[in-house]
């Protein structure tokens, strides 16, 4: 009998989260909106007071360097959509996901997403991991819920590294 894979994926997620938390604990408002390059994607306040991200349906050339605000919006978008798919709920449209507006609210949003995600993880069995996943794979029958969990861990690690690097570069340049 093989060992359960759910605890391993949970351990990997917890490790990734610990690395992300190091930077979340240190974020301030200036970090989130700091523009690291001339070609940059960020978030902007709209007329209704919500913060909307820069976006293009096809990848621009050169690829814009994102701000921490944009990256945290991006995490909020893909993670909430993924969680909704796994819970059988209708996910929000990209345009319905807005940035929270400041560092404290952003950190609270990221932690709330983490709490909801850990509830999803803690409710899964190895049989669930083998089930076909429709997101983010667009109904590829070879892709499973286990693949989705591994993708979340990887995507979060990548985004956490980007946020950490931006925060460190900004701090070093002060």
What does the domain layout of the chain look like in residue ranges?
Answer: 6-172
CATH topology assigned to domain 6-172:
1.20.120
| Beta pairing class for 40-41 and 65-66 | parallel
Written as six digits, the tokens of 80 are 């909430």
List Cβ neighbours of 26 (8 Å cut-off, separation of 6 or more): 167
Gap between the Cα atoms of 130 and 139, Å rounded: 14
Written as six digits, the tokens of 43 are 């978030």
pLDDT digits 0-9 by tens, 82-136: 999 999 999 999 999 999 999 999 999 999 999 999 999 999 998 999 998 877 7
Look up the pTM and report it: 0.94
Model confidence band, residue 1 (pLDDT cutoffs 50, 70, 90):
very low
Query: Across the chain, how many H-helices and E-strands are there?
Result: 6, 4
Residues of the chain with pLDDT > 70: what percent? Answer: 97
**Stretch 9-27: mean pLDDT, rounded?**
96
């Amino acid at each position: 009998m093989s060992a359960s894979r759910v605890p391993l994926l949970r351990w990997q997620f917890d490790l990734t989260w610990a690395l992300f938390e190091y930077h979340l604990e240190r974020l301030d408002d200036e970090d989130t909106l700091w523009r690291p390059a001339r070609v940059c994607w960020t978030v902007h306040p709209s007329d209704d007071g919500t913060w909307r991200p820069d976006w293009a349906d096809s990848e621009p050339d050169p690829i814009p360097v994102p701000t921490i605000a944009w990256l945290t919006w991006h995490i909020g978008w893909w993670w909430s959509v993924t969680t909704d798919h796994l819970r059988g709920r209708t996910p929000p449209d990209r345009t319905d996901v807005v940035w929270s507006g400041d560092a404290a609210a952003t950190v609270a949003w990221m932690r709330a997403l983490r709490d909801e995600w850990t509830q999803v993880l803690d409710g899964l069995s190895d049989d669930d991991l083998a089930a076909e996943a429709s997101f983010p794979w667009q109904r590829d029958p070879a892709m499973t819920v286990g693949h989705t969990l591994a993708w979340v861990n990887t995507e979060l690690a990548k985004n956490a590294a980007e946020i950490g690097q931006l925060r460190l570069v900004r701090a070093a340049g002060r």
